[in-house]
Amino acid sequence: MTINIVAVCSQTLPQAYEIHTQVTHSAWQYSTFADATTAPYSTRIALANEKVAGYAQILMVVDEATLMDIAVEPSLQGQGIGRLLLKDVISHSADAGMAVIWLEVRKSNLAAIYLYEQHGFVVQEVRKQYYPAADGREDALIMSLTL
């Protein structure tokens, strides 16, 4: 399977949002998701056979990037698409002159934490009870990567 990482467009935005609603515990409204495709945000998508396989949304302000959201179509998870998107986020942020990338991740999302650590992200702090969860609330790990 060939994966191409490109900027989102009006034709691919609905597919990316559909993935968002499938994998996110508390999905954003479509308007909020769409707003994160305009400056100072940047939305990158992974295309596989002309279909959106995943996306990453980045906020870039001054010299700091924040990875706001990253997700892969559930049926395609575990095939390296998330890794390709993360590598693209890092290079896209570096090319834009960012000095650091920040992100937050659910403490229970061990696969994502492992992926981030493999790419040099380190935990900076824990936000207690940050995310809504099925059984209450869940901690968030705040991680960063200096570029």
**Rounded alpha-carbon distances, angstroms, from residue 146 to 64, 75, 115:** 10, 32, 16
The question of whether 104 is a catalytic residue gets the answer yes
Residue from 116, 125, 131, 138 carrying the catalytic annotation: 116
What does the DSSP 8-state code read for residue 80?
S
Tokens of residue 91, six digits? 């290079």
Query: Helix, strand, coil: what percent of the chain each, to 5?
Result: 30, 45, 25
Q: State the catalytic residue, choosing from 104, 114, 117, 125.
A: 104
Please name every residue paired with 133 in a beta bridge, in sequence order, or none if there are none: 136
73 catalytic residue (yes or no): no
Q: Which residues are catalytic?
A: 104, 116
